[in-house]
Amino acid sequence: MELETVVLEQSEGIAFIRMNRPKEMNTLNFQLTRDLVRALETCWDDDAAKVVVVTGSGKAFCAGGDVAAFRSATDIGDATRQMTKDFDPLVSGVRRMAKPIIAMVNGVCMGAGLSLAAACDLRICAASAAFRQAYTSVGLTPDGAWSLHVPLLIGFGRASELILTDPVLDAKKAFEIGLVTEVVDDAELEDVTRKRAQRLASGPLKAFAVAKDNLNRAMLGVLENQLEQERLGIMHAARTADAREGIAAILEKRRPVFRGE
């Protein structure tokens, strides 16, 4: 299978899905999102792949959506609709896959990247990793079930804080609030993640699958509804003057001036 923006490797029962747009900090465009879905489906069907690790190449895990993709869009709301049309099945697939999925966060993790990491079963991150909600700072709203998974991980109050103040969290803070499972030295990240994955791969895989399904049924019964609600929300936000200003400010590398419109 040919993937333009993802490197898929599998050995010893572990499949690594590496987002491969390092110059763009692995920001999600249409091609990368579709390649991720295809890679995930391949792992789903491959009995030899017992555990899946999702990570990024270069210095970033994923810095969110590719704002440059909106540059030529005449309707930003329609552009977000197209993006979420591909992104939502990816997030849903991560949760519904009957195999453990680890997010190996090797660097910056923002916006849709944080939504993707939060959907995974475990999050192991490098000490230099940084996390940010990022959506509201450009006049948009979280998608990819961010508003479901992140509050489940860190609590409603802290999730509200991230939405309203949009701080940058270092790895230590992310661990303290429960956003990530483990923090390791940068040089040891892949070795530690591989060891954790190998331990899972040699474990009771059928029990893991049933237990993961039980967790989904207990806490994520509203997943599909939430994905749809967030899709409609980001489409609405993207059509505001503030969103146009926020996206323009990113592209022009300046601070946005919001007017509440």
- Each residue's pLDDT tens digit, 45-64: 999 999 999 999 999 999 99
Residue with tokens 């040089």: 187
**Residue 33 placed within a domain:** yes
Question: Is 242 a member of any domain?
Answer: no
pLDDT band, very low/low/confident/very high, at 84 (cuts 50, 70, 90): confident
Amino acid at 184: V
135-154 per-position pLDDT tens digit: 999 999 999 999 999 999 99
Residue 210 lies in a domain: no
CATH code for position 14: 3.90.226.10
* Residue 116 counted as domain residue: yes
- Total number of residues shown for the chain: 261
Residue 111 within any structural domain of the chain: yes
Question: Among candidates 76, 163, 68, 73, which has minimal Cα distance to 111?
Answer: 163
| Other beta carbons within 10 Å of 95 | 19
Question: Which DSSP symbol is given to 140?
Answer: -
The confidence score (pLDDT) of residue 248 equals 85
Residue 103, domain member (yes or no): yes
**In this predicted structure, what is the pLDDT of residue 206?**
96
Output the pLDDT for position 1.
62
Average pLDDT over residues 226-253: 86
Confidence category of residue 77, pLDDT binned at 50, 70, 90? low
pLDDT, tens digit (0-9, with 9 covering 90-100), for 109-131: 999 999 999 999 999 999 999 99
Strand-pair partners of 104: 55, 124
* Strand, helix or coil for residue 169: strand
Distance CA 193, CA 199 (A): 10
What residues contact residue 192 under an 8 Å CB cut-off, 6+ apart?
124, 182, 184
Evaluate whether residue 57 is within a structural domain: yes
* 55 assigned to some structural domain: yes
Confidence of residue 234 (pLDDT cuts 50, 70, 90): confident
pLDDT on residue 244 = 85
- pTM tops 0.95, yes or no: no
Q: Which helix (H) or strand (E) holds 235?
A: helix 223-238
Number of domains in the chain: 1
What distances in angstroms separate CA 71 from CA 22, 102, 127, one per listed residue? Answer: 20, 33, 34
CA distances from 25 to 7, 107, 120 (A): 15, 9, 20
Is residue 160 predicted with pLDDT exceeding 80? yes
Domain range for 50:
6-187
